[in-house]
Structure 1
Amino acid sequence: MKYVPMTVLGADKLREELEYLKSIRRQEIISAIAEAREHGDLKENAEYHAAREQQSFCESKIQKIENKLSHAQIIDVKKIVNNGRVIFGSTITMLNINTNEKFTYCIVGDDESDIKTNLISVNSPIARGLIGKNINDTVLIKTPGGNIKYKILKIEYI
């Protein structure tokens, strides 16, 4: 069985979404279906068919989240001693040597990644280039836009 790495925060967000879908969204959809049934003929009842489609989408999403959580290897980086090495879940501050721009990224699981909030997937070119490196290392990252040199300034396990 293949386990997928996930941060504690990512697992908590999935659990919250799952709880919302099961306890609130399901009930809203059931109410919408019941209300649409009261309108009569189900063959030509667009509201009924739309509600049933929402129900199908909701149940599918519940199943996907439950599957993700069952295959998650939840890693709490706060419980790991910081030895100055980049690992899954660590937050890295680095300097683009060519442009002198500083970047801070946190390496997370595929489902958690969001470049807008500086959460990068463990399978991204940047993360793959950083894993296992140490503070003050210079790293050449192969990206689709070309090779970029970074210097690792800080590694945090937060």
Structure 2
Amino acid sequence: MKRVPMTVGGELALRAELDRLKSKDRPRVIADIATARAHGDLKENAEYHAAREQQGFIEGRIQELESKLSQCQVIDVTTIPHSGKVFFGATVLIANVDSGDEVRYQIVGDDEADIKLSKISVNSPIARALIGKEEGDIACVATPGGEIEYEIVEVKHI
């Protein structure tokens, strides 16, 4: 089985969603189905069909989350000694060599990636260019507009 890297926060978020689906959403939709069934003829009962569709979605998502959690390898970066090296889970401050613009990213698993929260996938071009480099190194990132060079200013384990 292929292990999928995940941060501690990513695992907690998936477990919270799974818990909510099992403890709140699943019982609610089962009650909705029972209520709709009590209305009689199921062939033309829109509420019943909508509730059954919702149940299918919830059950599918539960299976997906259980599968992801069974395959994840949780990496707690706070337990890893600081070396200045970029790796999965690290938070990296980089500066565009040409413009001097700085941006901070945390390198996370695919399921956790959210650019609005400055979390980029370990499989993204920027993360792939940064992994293995150290503070002070230059990373070249291939973009549609050409290569961009970034200097690694700081690496944190937070």
Distance apart, 1:145 and its partner CA: 3.6
Aligned equivalent of 2:102: 102
Aligned residues: 158
Q: State the 4+ residue runs in structure 1 displaced beyond 4 angstroms.
A: none
Deviations 1:1-52 (A, max 9, x none): 1010000000000000000000000011011101101111001101000000
SS at match of 1:142: strand
**Aligned counterparts, 1:1-158, within 5 A:** 1-158=1-158
Distance apart, 1:59 and its partner CA: 0.2
Would you say the 8 A contact 1:126–1:143 is kept in 2? no
Distance apart, 1:100 and its partner CA: 1.5
Letter of the structure 2 residue corresponding to residue 117 of structure 1: L
Letter of the structure 1 residue corresponding to residue 137 of structure 2: D
Q: Measure, in 1, the Cα distance between the counterparts of 2:99 and 2:28.
A: 51
Distance apart, 1:144 and its partner CA: 3.4
Distance apart, 1:113 and its partner CA: 0.2
Deviations 1:55-106 (A, max 9, x none): 0000000000000000001100001001110010000001011221100000
Letter of the structure 1 residue corresponding to residue 94 of structure 2: M
Q: Measure, in 1, the Cα distance between the counterparts of 2:20 and 2:95.
A: 40
Q: Measure, in 1, the Cα distance between the counterparts of 2:144 and 2:30.
A: 46
- The alignment-based identity, stated in percent, is 56
What TM-score, normalized by structure 2, do the two folds share? 0.98
What TM-score, normalized by structure 1, do the two folds share? 0.98
Q: Measure, in 2, the Cα distance between the counterparts of 1:58 and 1:144.
A: 39
Gaps of 5+ in 2: none
Distance apart, 1:146 and its partner CA: 2.4
SS at match of 1:134: coil
Gaps of 5+ in 1: none
Would you say the 8 A contact 1:4–1:71 is kept in 2? yes
Q: Measure, in 2, the Cα distance between the counterparts of 1:144 and 1:11.
A: 33
Q: Measure, in 2, the Cα distance between the counterparts of 1:36 and 1:27.
A: 14
Letter of the structure 2 residue corresponding to residue 5 of structure 1: P
